[in-house]
Chain A
């Protein structure tokens, strides 16, 4: 069955998302990497639901997609508020609390 070969693909997407979070300077670039990580988790759940005929795993994947939408909404609201307050959109430019 070929679906067992796609689990390393889900792991690779997860690790690419981690790399994106660690290196990106733009705040929305970091949010794109977070969405990549969440999608990798959805793919992982769907793969294991297919491998073991587990229904709850596929439902969990649906809930992860819904929560990813919520998290994207709140994250982008925070980015817009940051852009208005600190006049910058880069994550290392928000230095208002710096001593």
Chain B
């Protein structure tokens, strides 16, 4: 319980750093801290496969890609210090209102929980993936292919057209 509280505090601090830090590289590293903390929470929830997928995909692939993009576009930031954020007070009021709405909406769900719930087993996850949920499992491969092709088409610089 104490461990869970410490991990939750780390996640919350990292999340505050992600949205407020002026240096974007440090914000990306704080996002890495948040993602690792959430993976720790998944291990505490006895969903180990989800924790491994989170570390591999989120920290290993997405965060690396974000850091590469930050380095590539680093020379486009003006050398003088510019404001990192605008309109912080109305945005803070809006997100605080959203937080209140979300917590009051899920409060009855949490009070009516099952008395003794076992953790979800990996065998059950694998079984559902190839029997009940096989259609999304296959469709996501199509999504991956289209994302890779689309990203290459978007990011490729348009060279001068050669006369055919």
List A residues at the B interface (Cβ < 8 Å). Answer: 1-4, 6-9, 11-20, 22-26, 28-29, 31-33, 35-36, 39, 42-43, 46-56, 58-59, 61-63, 65-70, 72-74, 76-81, 83-84, 87-90, 92
Contact = CB atoms under 8 A, between A and B. Distances in A.
B66 A28 contact: yes
Those 5 A-B pairs whose CB atoms lie nearest each other, nearest first:
A20-B19, A23-B85, A22-B91, A77-B151, A77-B155
A70 B147 contact: yes
A9 B24 CA distance: 24
Contact of B62 (A2, A26, A35, A54): A35
24 contacts: A2-B4, A3-B45, A4-B110, A4-B113, A11-B102, A12-B15, A22-B94, A23-B87, A25-B86, A31-B66, A32-B24, A42-B54, A43-B41, A50-B46, A51-B117, A52-B117, A56-B132, A58-B50, A70-B143, A77-B150, A81-B154, A83-B72, A83-B76, A90-B82
Contacts of A59: 125, 128-129, 133
- Interface of A, secondary structure class, is helix
A25 B157 CA distance: 25
Interface size class of B (residues with CB under 8 A): 35 or more
Contacts of B148: 73
Contact of B155 (A43, A58, A80): A80
Most chain A beta-carbon neighbours within 10 Å: one of B46, B87, B95: B95
A33 B133 CA distance: 30
Interface string B22-45: 001001100100110010011001
Nearest to B132: A56
B53 A62 contact: yes
B154 A74 contact: yes
Nearest to A57: B120
Contact of A79 (B27, B69, B84): B69
